[in-house]
Amino acid sequence: MSTASTVDPHNQASGGHAPGGVSHFIWTYVFSRDHKIIGLQFLFSTLIWFLIGGLLALAVRWQVAWPWGEGAPFGIQGMPVLGNLFFAEQGGQISPEFYTMLFTMHATVMIFFVIIPILAGAFGNYLIPLMIGADDMAFPTLNMLSYWFMWPAFMVMTAAFFVEGGGPAAGWTSYPPLSVLTEAAPGSGAGQTCWLVGITLVGISSMMGSVNYLTTILQMRAPGMTMFRLPLTIWSMFITAVLQAFALPVLTAAGVMQLTDRLIGTGFFLPDGATANNMPLATGGGQPLLWQHLFWFYSHPAVYIMILPAMGMVSDIISCFARKPIFGYKPMVYSIAGIAGLGFVVWGHHMFVSGMNPFLGMTFMVATMMIALPSAIKVFNWLGTIWSGKLLFSTPMLFALSFVSMFIIGGLSGIFMAATPVDIFIHDTYFIVAHFHYVLFAGTAMGVFGAIYFWFPKMFGRMMNESWGKLHFFLTFLFLNGTFFPMHILGVVGFPRRLADAYQYEVFHNLKPMNEFITWCAIGMVAAQVVFFANFFYSIFRGKKVGRNPWGANGLEWTAPSPPGHGNFDFQPIVYRGPYEYASPEVDTDFYPQTQPPPEETIPVGIPEAEPVAST
Amino acid sequence: MGRYWSLLFLLVPVLGTALFVVAYDEHSRPLLNHWFPKDVSEYGHVIDNLFMVILWLTGAVFIGTQLTLVWFMWKYEANVSNEPAKFTHGSHNIEVIWTVIPAATLLFIAIYQLNAWADTKVREPNNPGMTVEVVGRQFEWRLRYPGPDKRFDTPDDLFSVNELHVPVDEDILVHLKSSDVLHDFFLPNLRVKQDAVPGMKIPVWFRATEEGVFDLVCAELCGWGHYKMKGLLRVESREAYNAYLAELKKQQHLSAMTVGEDES
């Protein structure tokens, strides 16, 4: 390691600001414009929200397994914690309207406050400048604002629970007229207004982020970093940002339309002749299906926003721990682009039984079938990458491989619903619940865990504990499959989602034991995250200290100090090759950093040499 | 643990396949009842069969890819594999193969199902044995039969709530409507599901092949009482159905004097 690399990150981080005092602390760690601090702020916030979303999920599961607390284990009356908090006078039994609020908020928190910001906000921010060799984002102030829009959004969203009528209760999809008519449901009052304002604020945050990512990736790459030398993480972040930039305005506009429907009496989504509480509506002339088209025009690309960055990060992790170049780099890039392109023309598959013209359904069906193709290509390329490699089952690698395994399930189950006649039966059943949890939790969240373990040494200069990490992986992997896999079978029976008590129906009467099993697994899955949180916070302070490149990886970020100081690199990175040249015959080491000049050239002064691989 | 991690991954295809087999198997199915509810419609088996075709195809891909993953994990673990990692960036030919084969399979599924979709959603029966209007309303199903003249909006219309009577072995055409928010008309035993949208009249058709009482489920979130928006489908012989209509007419005649116009 050259002498230039011994940098104290804390001194560096304060560079450019007035030193000392409270204002120094505030400008360095609170209203920081450094992409790494912002990335970590996003990471910590989203992990807190992840916990909240997970607990909401348990509340939902409790009701599904033991409706109204009947027959709950250990003689627990009503719903634990939440029941006593909100419904003490009813013996802790939650109300049916509260159940609708629970699943609405679970989905809202998980999608808008966890998955999207942890991928784009936390990892996008942290990794993009480091991996392309830039000293920061193109627009640091915009970047800071993008984080600070998240907390007001979350405050407004949480406030919804405490306004009259309670939280939003129309599902995360907020289908009108239920969401528009204040008389239609208790939560369709001020709670729904809070929801719409919160979503709009999240949208503003995402938009500022995506503009920033696009500009940074296009304009600020280090010398030699051509587009086709970018790590797949960056490619996926780039295409995700494109999706955000083009799809998000539609959601924002639709949200404003719903807001005006609610507040100033427009009628975009309200038809003529409808009633609410036996009263005719004040306005009309609109169409409830219009919302669904607008909403899914954003939210279908958004499901790729929620998976593509994880795919990118998993590709990097797999290549690193297979000690082998990624198989088919360009097909991988083209598949990401293909998914994004097709992602704009498949939104109608959410609406096969909505009343949309059935001929239109056929078109969307064919497009949807075709979008399975790039996903399949990616899976085959991941398998090709580990073929004939030298696999190292570190914690990040185990999470990354589980992403592949779980994504196969999530991808294949999608084909059932893409088939329109089959979708008639399994639409809005637990089959779809199983499908998107396999993609979003078993896929994205597992990929994110892998990414946290992988880049943690870069973020904090210390390793996370591997044994605890493997225990965390083992428990999460078992319990998540116990939770989500049986849901497929529930879906085959037709068990509908969003029902507070489905056992009163003859056809679903016998599904209670299966649901109890699922709930136990869900409890185990949330409990297993204690291992993760303990490891995470312990390792920040007490983890084993490491140097720049503990995994022996090729990416640019591993040539910067750990953690990188303000301005990231203590030398000017020059890129000579792509990021996946592992096991290259050109060099003796099994990795070949992007900045390492080819052997025949003389080594310029000031570029740190590669460090040996730490034991894993 | 090294290569033994692959065994954990092996649990996925093993247990996953086992669960589907146990749920599907003829012998354990009646015991567990965790498969498609009993099909009492003329067309339901088409949907079930299509599901099975996709299940066989995706099941093969599922088992194949998962076992490949496990096998590679077992074989290429760094400590057991003596060979150096293969320095390759991919293969054009292999990429073409695994692009074309899935593409053809997906296209096959896409085309294979078009007819079923047309039959269930496009080709409305020309001469239905009976037409009924179903209106979703928080939180009940309002039903209107056209009466002897077989036309709606005439004085002999018959009204009822939540209990839909239909004759067996006849094409039934439902005019599905909603008076307030979205609902969904879901008959699990007949593989029928269609959203009810206020402001729209959506045609739904089916043909029940067996007499009995079956669930009518609301499958689209419609508010706090969504879970209790429960209806019944009573499939009966033509005679019983006619008798039911006559009974309905008698009751309506009695109450017509006391209750005002109800236009739902």
Search chain A and give the residue with CA nearest B189: A507
Search chain A and give the residue with CA nearest B204: A355
Stretch among A157-166, A238-247, A513-522, B165-174 having the lowest mean pLDDT: A157-166
Q: Say what the pLDDT of residue B65 is.
A: 97
Q: Do B62 and A408 touch (CB under 8 A)?
A: yes
Identify the residue among B33, B95, B185 best suited for mutation to test binding to A, counting A beta carbons within 10 A and taking the highest.
Answer: B95
Measured in whole angstroms, the distance separating CA B254 from the mean position of its chain's CA atoms is 39
- Secondary structure, 3-state, A334-390: HHHHHHHHHHCCCHHHHCCCCCCCHHHHHHHHHHHHHHHHHHHHHHHHHHHHHCCCC
pLDDT bracket for residue B29 (50, 70, 90): confident
CA A556 to chain B, closest CA, distance in angstroms equals: 20
Which amino acid does the sequence have at A308?
L
Closest by Cβ to A288, choosing from B35, B117, B182:
B182
CB neighbours of B148 closer than 8 A, spacing ≥ 6? Answer: B156
Please report which helix (H) or strand (E) contains residue B212, including its range.
strand B212-218
CA A157 to chain B, closest CA, distance in angstroms equals: 20
Search chain B and give the residue with CA nearest A515: B34
Residue pairs spanning A and B at CB distance below 8 A: 321
Assess contact for A549 and A595: CB atoms under 8 A.
Answer: no
Q: Do B194 and A355 touch (CB under 8 A)?
A: yes
Assess contact for B216 and B139: CB atoms under 8 A.
Answer: no
Indicate whether A593 pLDDT > 60: yes
The two beta strands, B230-236 and B163-167, are parallel
Q: Say what the pLDDT of residue B225 is.
A: 93
CA A355 to chain B, closest CA, distance in angstroms equals: 6
Please, which residues 91-150 of chain B have a Cβ atom closer than 8 Å to chain A?
91, 94-95, 98-99, 102-103, 106-107, 109-110, 113-114, 116-118, 120-122, 138
Indicate whether A127 pLDDT > 70: yes
End-to-end CA distance of chain B: 67
Phi-psi region of A265 (alpha: psi -120 to 50; beta: other; left: phi over 0): left
Please, which residues 71-90 of chain B have a Cβ atom closer than 8 Å to chain A?
72-73, 76-78, 81, 83-90
Q: What is d(CA B229, CA B140) in angstroms, rounded to the nearest whole number?
A: 5
Search chain A and give the residue with CA nearest B75: A388
Which amino acid does the sequence have at A445?
A
Assess contact for B22 and B185: CB atoms under 8 A.
Answer: no
Search chain A and give the residue with CA nearest B232: A505
Assess contact for A147 and A38: CB atoms under 8 A.
Answer: yes
pLDDT bracket for residue A18 (50, 70, 90): very low
Q: Do B12 and A481 touch (CB under 8 A)?
A: yes
Give chain B positions within 8 Å (CB) of A174. Answer: none
Degrees to nearest 5, angle at CA B12 with A391 and B50: 125
Nearest to A224 by CA among A568, A552, A590, A572: A572
Q: Do A389 and B215 touch (CB under 8 A)?
A: no
Q: Do B191 and A424 touch (CB under 8 A)?
A: yes
Q: Say what the pLDDT of residue A10 is.
A: 44
CA A96 to chain B, closest CA, distance in angstroms equals: 6
Q: Do A390 and B85 touch (CB under 8 A)?
A: yes
Most confident of A16-20, A371-375, A598-602: A371-375
Assess contact for A59 and A93: CB atoms under 8 A.
Answer: no
Assess contact for A596 and A611: CB atoms under 8 A.
Answer: no
Which amino acid does the sequence have at B89?
H
Please report which helix (H) or strand (E) contains residue B196, including its range.
strand B192-196
Q: What is d(CA A417, CA A491) in angstroms, rounded to the nearest whole number?
A: 11
Q: What is the DSSP string of A190-203?
A: HHHHHHHHHHHHHH
B152 interface with A at CB cutoff 8 Å: no
Assess contact for A165 and A189: CB atoms under 8 A.
Answer: yes
Identify the residue among B221, B229, B233 best suited for mutation to test binding to A, counting A beta carbons within 10 A and taking the highest.
Answer: B221
Nearest to B177 by CA among B215, B212, B209, B131: B131
Give chain B positions within 8 Å (CB) of A411. Answer: none
pLDDT bracket for residue B255 (50, 70, 90): low
Q: Say what the pLDDT of residue A569 is.
A: 95
Using alpha carbons, list the distances in angstroms from residue A215 to A32, A171, A338: 20, 35, 21
Give chain A positions within 8 Å (CB) of B179. Answer: 274-275
Q: Say what the pLDDT of residue A280 is.
A: 78
Assess contact for A236 and A309: CB atoms under 8 A.
Answer: yes
Search chain A and give the residue with CA nearest B37: A493
Indicate whether B37 pLDDT > 90: yes
- Helical axes A466-493 vs A395-418, angle rounded to 10°: 10
Proportion of chain A above pLDDT 90, given as a percent = 80
Q: What is d(CA A457, CA A586) in angstroms, rounded to the nearest whole number?
A: 28
Please report which helix (H) or strand (E) contains residue A155, including its range.
helix A150-159
Give chain B positions within 8 Å (CB) of A390. Answer: 76, 78, 81, 84-85
For chain B, give the longest Cα–Cα distance.
93
Q: Do B199 and A287 touch (CB under 8 A)?
A: yes
Assess contact for B124 and B169: CB atoms under 8 A.
Answer: no
Give chain A positions within 8 Å (CB) of B84. Answer: 390, 583
pLDDT bracket for residue A484 (50, 70, 90): very high
Indicate whether B41 pLDDT > 90: yes
pLDDT in tens, A347-392: 999 999 999 999 999 999 999 999 999 999 999 999 999 999 999 9
Closest by Cβ to B121, choosing from A358, A369, A498:
A358
Nearest to A137 by CA among A239, A219, A236, A18: A219
Q: What number is the average pLDDT over the span A281-288? A: 84
Q: What is d(CA A317, CA A395) in angstroms, rounded to the nearest whole number?
A: 10
Q: Do B46 and A276 touch (CB under 8 A)?
A: no
Q: What is the mean pLDDT of chain B?
A: 92
pLDDT in tens, A456-469: 999 999 999 999 99
Q: Is A292 helix (H, G, I), strand (E, B) or coil?
A: helix
Q: Say what the pLDDT of residue A19 is.
A: 52
Using alpha carbons, list the distances in angstroms from residue A510 to A255, B35, B260: 40, 11, 43
Give chain B positions within 8 Å (CB) of A504. Answer: 227-228, 230
pLDDT bracket for residue A95 (50, 70, 90): confident
pLDDT in tens, A405-444: 999 999 999 999 999 999 999 999 999 999 999 999 999 9
Q: Do A381 and B103 touch (CB under 8 A)?
A: no
Give chain A positions within 8 Å (CB) of B180. Answer: 177, 181, 184, 274-276
Q: What is d(CA A572, CA A299) in angstroms, rounded to the nearest whole number?
A: 40
Closest by Cβ to A369, choosing from B65, B106, B214:
B106
Looking at per-residue pLDDT, the higher value among A29 and A150 belongs to A150
Indicate whether B260 pLDDT > 70: no
Indicate whether A184 pLDDT > 90: no
Search chain A and give the residue with CA nearest B86: A388
Give chain A positions within 8 Å (CB) of B188. Answer: 425, 493-494, 507
CB neighbours of B98 closer than 8 A, spacing ≥ 6? Answer: A376, A377, A380
Q: Is A29 helix (H, G, I), strand (E, B) or coil?
A: helix
Q: What is d(CA A167, CA A163) in angstroms, rounded to the nearest whole number?
A: 7
pLDDT bracket for residue A24 (50, 70, 90): confident
In sequence order, what are the beta bridge partners of B217? B186, B230
CA B58 to chain A, closest CA, distance in angstroms equals: 6
**Which spans in B25-43 are helix H?**
29-32
> Could you identify the residue written with the tokens 């509480």?
A277
Closest by Cβ to A583, choosing from B68, B72, B87:
B87
For residue B140, report the phi and psi dihedrals to the nearest 5 degrees. -150, 165
Q: Say what the pLDDT of residue A464 is.
A: 97
Q: What is the DSSP string of B59-104?
A: HHHHHHHHHHHHHHHHHSBTTT--SPPP-----HHHHHHHHHHHHH
Q: What number is the average pLDDT over the span A337-352? A: 95
Assess contact for A119 and A207: CB atoms under 8 A.
Answer: no
In sequence order, what are the beta bridge partners of B177? B135
Q: What is d(CA A157, CA A14) in angstroms, rounded to the nearest whole number?
A: 33
CB neighbours of A472 closer than 8 A, spacing ≥ 6? Answer: A395, A449, A528, A529, A531, A532, A535
Indicate whether A173 pLDDT > 60: yes
Identify the residue among A424, A427, A446, A514 best suited for mutation to test binding to B, counting B beta carbons within 10 A and taking the highest.
Answer: A424
pLDDT in tens, B215-237: 999 999 999 999 999 999 999 99
Proportion of chain A above pLDDT 70, given as a percent = 93
Q: Say what the pLDDT of residue A112 is.
A: 96
Q: What is d(CA B57, CA A326) in angstroms, rounded to the nearest whole number?
A: 28
Q: Say what the pLDDT of residue A7 is.
A: 40
CB neighbours of B26 closer than 8 A, spacing ≥ 6? Answer: none
Give chain B positions within 8 Å (CB) of A419. Answer: 50-51, 54, 109, 113
Q: Do B99 and A377 touch (CB under 8 A)?
A: yes
B225 interface with A at CB cutoff 8 Å: yes
Q: Do B200 and A590 touch (CB under 8 A)?
A: no
pLDDT in tens, A47-87: 999 999 999 999 999 999 999 888 888 777 677 777 777 77
Q: What number is the average pLDDT over the span A474-490? A: 97
Q: Do A405 and B179 touch (CB under 8 A)?
A: no
Q: What is the mean pLDDT of chain A?
A: 90
pLDDT in tens, A297-332: 999 999 999 999 999 999 999 999 999 999 999 999
